[in-house]
Copies of this chain bind each other. A is one copy, B any other.
Amino acid sequence: MNLSNNLTAIDDTICALATPPGLSAIGIIRVSGKNSFSVCEKVFNPRNKQIRLSTADSHTIHLGEFVIGMEILDEVMVSVFKQPHSYTGEDSVEISCHGSAYIEQKILEALIDNGLRMARPGEFTMRAFLNGKFDLSQAEAVADLIASHSKTSHDLALNQMRGLFSNRIKELRKQLLDFTTLIELELDFSGEDVEFANREDFKRLLTTMYSEISALANSFSIGNVLKKGIPVAIVGQPNVGKSTLLNAILNEERAIVSEIPGTTRDTIEDTIVINGISFRFIDTAGLRDSGDIIESMGIERTYEKIDQAKIILFVFDVSLTGYTEIGPAMDEMKEHFSHLPEELLKGKKIILIANKTDLLVEAPRGFKSLVEMECLFVSAKRKENINLIVDSLSKYVETEKVTDNAMVSSARHYEALVKTKESLENIMTGFNQSISSDLIAIDIRQALHHLGEITGEITTNEVLENIFSKFCIGK
């Protein structure tokens, strides 16, 4: 489906810097649209005088001079892409110049003086979508791919860009559409009581679809977390060494550490990548009940952060009051742990961190058997056993890693899937209650609409603008 008629913008030819600004070996200015060749011919003198961009083969590169009037600005390489075999599907040119801000600026100015327009963020990719090179879900993945900084978020985006997810959605939509056509045909012959669509086949399709759509919607909770990083909350009494532990894990002095209990009032976030998965660490204020209002607000926020976390590192001071036996420290820890609202901890992985082993006179004994949860003995101060925490975090996702299965990581897609599920429920209820076909047809059309929103078969300018405005310029 080509929406180009909806947007007049696609008629003009656009240009933008496609590489980051800053001094470098190469800078790329990207041009796309029907006047790409004619405008670039005005400012480009090929070394080989026989060459004209408009008649050159697609996917060829030409050395020459970028000229402004009579003046040579730079020696450049110009790459020619003929429609439809370009990224955007339009005639396109890439000008590869020396990576100087001055030169890049002058090239853009010269192109604009010759009638081109600066591209809006994501406009090249939007054109690729409008020209049918990508569906909408694939186009969205391009921005995710560029922004990804861990293997899992990268793999998620790449799979989505390559159409794994949207092909499945399109397939389901097509099957549903086939049935709809038959049912709507029945409506045309409503006086004659014919049945073109086999009701049993349709119910089977609905059941399959429902379970598949549900699975995809459910994958959002892990997909979203993999994209953004798995949230890990570091929780515990004041002064048990939470910030020191975070620093040891991040291997840098990020949080403010002091000896005064309750120092960490704000939550500080940082991310590390372990085995290709990013973990988003959340340092929290201490958990004690406090009369101090700011401190109380900190605890309020700690609860919020715990609520968002998938993993909780519950830190306690194993050396407290100089125990040589572990029993009393554990009793105290259990006491503090029990203050945490139970519903906060539900479904989360909890790792107990027995910190400050550096202060123990002798090695702790008989502790691990006493608690049901995993317990790691570490000295955050001396950075001892921090690797145990890293290993444990890394194991958390081994069982749930990103496979080649389609996984949803976009809130927009999740929302559309949930709405599709609702429509499918309505259709199934309608069947069971023998509601008339014309009413059921409305729900089917709703389901088709929501599935179509994901791939962009159904879309509006507003949705498109919202999606592509989050892209960088030049993409």
Contact = CB atoms under 8 A, between A and B. Distances in A.
A72 interface: yes
A182 interface: no
A274 B433 CA distance: 80
Contact of A23 (B79, B161, B472): B472
A28 B81 CA distance: 17
A61 interface: yes
A98 interface: yes
Nearest to A27: B19
Contacts of A376: none
A203 interface: no
A146 interface: yes
Contacts of A23: 20, 146-147, 472
Contacts of A22: 20, 22
Interface string A258-284: 000000000000000000000000000
A356 interface: no
Contacts of A28: 19, 25-26, 28, 96
Interface residues of A, number: 48
Nearest to A273: B102
A22 B147 CA distance: 10
Nearest to A22: B20
A124 interface: yes
A214 interface: no
Most B C-beta atoms less than 10 A away, residue of A19, A27, A74:
A19
A75 B128 CA distance: 15
A20 B24 contact: yes
Main secondary structure of the interface of A (DSSP, over half): mixed
Most B C-beta atoms less than 10 A away, residue of A73, A102, A150:
A102
B148 A100 contact: yes
Contact of A472 (B25, B60, B96): B25
A183 B21 CA distance: 56
A62 interface: yes
B25 A99 contact: no
Contacts of A472: 23-25, 99
Contacts of A98: 142, 145-146
Interface string A5-24: 00000000000101111111
B26 A30 contact: yes
Given A60-B60, A98-B142, A19 B26 contact: yes
A78 B313 CA distance: 46
Contacts of A148: 100, 102
A103 B101 CA distance: 24
Given A18-B25, A24-B20, A26-B18, A149 B99 contact: no
Interface of A: 16, 18-28, 30, 59-63, 72-75, 79, 81, 96, 98-103, 124, 142, 145-151, 154, 158, 161-162, 472-475
18 contacts: A19-B20, A19-B27, A19-B99, A22-B22, A23-B472, A24-B475, A25-B28, A28-B96, A59-B61, A59-B63, A72-B158, A72-B162, A98-B145, A100-B149, A100-B154, A102-B148, A102-B154, A103-B154
